[in-house]
Amino acid sequence: MYRYDSYDHQFVAERVAQFRDQTRRFLAGELTEDEFRPLRLQNGLYIQKYAPMLRIAIPYGLLSSTQLRKLAHIGRKYDRGYGHFTTRQNIQFNWPRLEDVPDILAELATVEMHAIQTSGNCVRNITSDHFAGVAADEVVDPRAYCELFRQWSTFHPEFAYLPRKFKIAVCGSATDRAATLVHDIGVHAVRNAAGEVGFRVLVGGGLGRTPMIGHVIREFLPREEILNYLDAILRVYNRFGRRDNKYKARIKILVKDMTPEVFARHVEADWERLKGGPATVPDEEIARLSSFFAPPPYEPHSGDDAGFRAAIADNRAFGNWAKRNVFPHKVPGYAVVTLSLKKTGVPPGDATSDQMDTVADLADAYSFGALRVSHEQNLIFTDVKQSALLALWGELKALGFATPNIGLLTDIICCPGGDFCSLANAKSIPIAEAIQRRFDDLDYLYDIGELDLNISGCMNACGHHHVGNIGVLGVDKNGEEWYQVSIGGGQGEHASLGKVIGPSFAANEMPDVVSRLIDVYVESRHEDERFIDTVRRLGIEPFKERVYATAH
């Protein structure tokens, strides 16, 4: 993991002091609400429905056991003993007191964490592939570049008052596990024919009110030029992005209005000026950053662990878990384990402070003291010996984090919704729970197979409903909570946006609606066809007919 040096420590300490003084001045009436709002947002602090909400960055999803223990402590001391992992590799606390926030930030700084730019109209937390560095399909380990971008974006003086928020995601694998196509900027670390590392750059993707898939504006950018290029993109957006209407202020609208070709021309023109300048990144800096992400001291293994193979055959429950929650590792004898934060009855992405402490202990015992947070709101141990999986499974079961449902219908991506969020039109957590209860039969769940079901409580799409194979959006109709359903969305390198099937439903209808969609799939699927494939083959009509025919 990246480690702060004296510079990084000083910046974060200065930020804490700055925000402490800003909070003091706000509470003393020296700063108005309007003047304080952007300042607190750029420190992750929202004023929510019942209390402030503090969003803490987990840069590109990497977390040490020490850091997780600190988060557990913060949950216990300043909140109600739990936290919520978000869809952008952050953690949120829903009940801190405004006047405690400077102290929380100071505590975070002691473990090299912060809440800088986790909200507001600025460059947000850089997100990435939660399997970075261990996936077999990886072309370039993106972590050193993520850290480069973290430093570049942190306190960037020119881009703190953009037209709207700005999200960057990075991946370096054939499979896009970072949703890069639906980010303001997607960065793909790639290699050219000569084997040199560079970046494919996409702009203008995004979810929210007007979902769009990003456009490639450069197929291969030499890696040393990336900060010059990012500066050029942000500068075009900062100057020309719309500021008259917040719903049209994201970069995707600018790119669409200008056309991607013209937008790219503006960027390339400014880059031409910057190319080779002081922000060009020397190889030595890439090497310095890469040194923080050297592989841990793996034990040599010649291949798969025989005991692990035998346990899968002997123990059906363990086998189910191994099939769904264990991912192959590029190093023989090791495995990647996803801890499911999607147990029925628990809000997706929530963990208690006690659970966090136990996970930290398990990370120390099983995975070199480190873990990851995924945008699907689960936790990941990236470096577990196959021979230890059975023991780890036992520990995770006791903790409630071994639900064998990764990638399945009940592994629901879900925003906090109307239970917590003041932006929400409708609750989302109870909908997730009702659907999970409907599909509690594991055999049936496995038969349905891979399916992303995503729920957002409003247009802002924190639950990524547009890219759910089944997407659920909470809407307000005359003060009542209704749910609009779309199908056919998908994330990853073939990302697509779902299509709305028709008029919205009441909360109590939602499990039936999902059941009917699944019925059509089960009846119509070809062998080995996933739900999304069937929807893409048949279109939405047969699904729509079934859902609305039986609704009356």
Piece in contact with another protein (CB under 8 A), picked from 9-17, 335-343, 351-359, 413-421: 9-17
| Residues of span 196-225 touching another protein by CB under 8 A | none
Nearer to another protein, 110 or 192 (CB): 110
Q: Report the run of H or E that residue 522 belongs to, with start and end.
A: helix 510-524
By CB under 8 A, is residue 244 in contact with another protein?
A: no
Stretch that binds another protein, among 251-259, 283-291, 402-410, 500-508 (CB under 8 A): 283-291
DSSP 8-state symbol, 206:
B
Residue 155 interacts with another protein (CB under 8 A)? Answer: yes
Q: How far is the CB of 34 from another protein (least distance, A)?
A: 9
Cβ–Cβ under 8 Å, residues 46 and 98: no
The piece of 154-162, 390-398, 489-497, 533-541 that touches another protein (CB under 8 A) is 154-162
8-state DSSP, 442: H
CB nearer to another protein: give 111 or 399: 111
* Binding of residue 285 to another protein (CB under 8 A): yes
Scanning 47-55, 131-139, 277-285, 412-420 for contacts with another protein by CB under 8 A, the matching segment is: 277-285
Strand partners, 201: 187, 218
Applying CB under 8 A, does 284 fall inside the site for another protein?
yes
- CA dihedral angle for residue 461, residue 203, residue 91, residue 442, rounded to 10 degrees: 60
Tokens 């910057």 correspond to 274
Q: Report CA 228 to chain centroid distance, whole Å.
A: 26
Residue 275 CB, shortest distance to another protein, in Å, is 13
**Stretch in the footprint of another protein (CB under 8 A) among 214-222, 272-280, 297-305, 346-354:** 272-280
Q: Binding of another protein at residue 335 (CB under 8 A)?
A: no
Residue selected from 246, 288, 323, 477 as contacting another protein according to rule CB under 8 A: 288
Residue 407: how many CB atoms within 10 A of its CB? 15
Q: How many whole angstroms separate alpha carbon 133 and alpha carbon 11?
A: 28
| Burial class, 273, CB count within 10 angstroms (exposed 0-12 / middle 13-18 / buried 19+) | exposed
Q: Which span (132-140, 231-239, 351-359, 536-544) binds another protein, by CB under 8 A?
A: 231-239
Query: Do 198 and 450 touch, CB atoms closer than 8 A?
Result: no
Pick 160 or 507: Cβ nearer another protein: 160
**Total residues at the site for another protein (CB under 8 A)?**
47
CA-based torsion, 458, 463, 467, 472: positive or negative = negative
Provide, rounded to whole angstroms, the least separation between the CB of residue 59 and another protein.
13
Contact map string, positions 113 to 152, toward another protein, x by CB under 8 A: --------x-----------------------------xx
Q: How far is the CB of 450 from another protein (least distance, A)?
A: 38
Contact between 245 and another protein by CB under 8 A: the answer reads no
Relative orientation angle of helices 65-78 and 101-109, to the nearest 10 degrees: 160
238 binds another protein (CB under 8 A): yes
What DSSP assignment string belongs to 362-406? HHHHHSTTEEEE-TTS-EEEEEEEGGGHHHHHHHHHHHT---S-T
- Contact status: 160 vs another protein (CB under 8 A): yes
Q: Smallest distance from the beta carbon of 160 to another protein, in angstroms?
A: 6
Can residue 278 be called a binding residue for another protein (CB under 8 A)? yes
Among 51, 139, 279, 475, binds another protein (CB under 8 A): 279
With b for 16 or more beta-carbon neighbours within 10 A and e for fewer, the 427-444 pattern comes to: bbbbbbbbbbebbeebee
Binding flag, residue 11, another protein (CB under 8 A): yes
Q: For residue 127, report the phi and psi dihedrals to the nearest 5 degrees.
A: -110, 160
Q: Whole-number minimum distance, CB 385 to another protein, in Å?
A: 24
Residue entry with tokens 């029925």: 344
Q: Does 112 bind another protein (CB under 8 A)?
A: yes
Instruction: Select from 208, 213, 58, 225 the least CA-distant residue to 128.
Output: 58
Tokens 């100057």 — which residue?
239
Binding of another protein by 110 (CB under 8 A): yes
| Smallest gap from residue 25 Cβ to another protein (A) | 9
- Rounded Cα distance between 189 and 146, Å, is 10
* Residue 442 CA: distances (Å) to CA of 309, 316, 320, 448: 22, 12, 9, 10
Give min distance, CB of 327 to another protein, in A.
Answer: 27
In the window 33-62, what residues touch another protein (CB under 8 A)?
35, 38-39
Q: Which is nearer to another protein, 38 or 511 (CB)?
A: 38
Residue 397 structure tokens: 């079961």
- Give 235 or 301: the residue with its C-beta nearer to another protein: 235
Residue 87 makes CB contacts below 8 A (sequence gap 6+) with 349, 375, 376, 377, 413, 415, 462, 463, 464
Calculate the dihedral angle through the C-alpha atoms of 7, 10, 11, 13, rounding to the nearest 10 degrees: 160
- Cβ at position 283, least distance to another protein in Å: 11
- Give CA–CA dist 187/236, Å, rounded: 17
Given the complex with another protein, which of 290 and 524 has the nearer CB atom? 290
- Output DSSP code: residue 221: E
Q: Contact positions toward another protein, by CB under 8 A?
A: 3-7, 9-11, 14-15, 18, 22, 31, 35, 38-39, 64, 66, 110-112, 121, 151-152, 154-162, 227, 235, 238-239, 243, 273, 277-279, 281-282, 284-285, 288
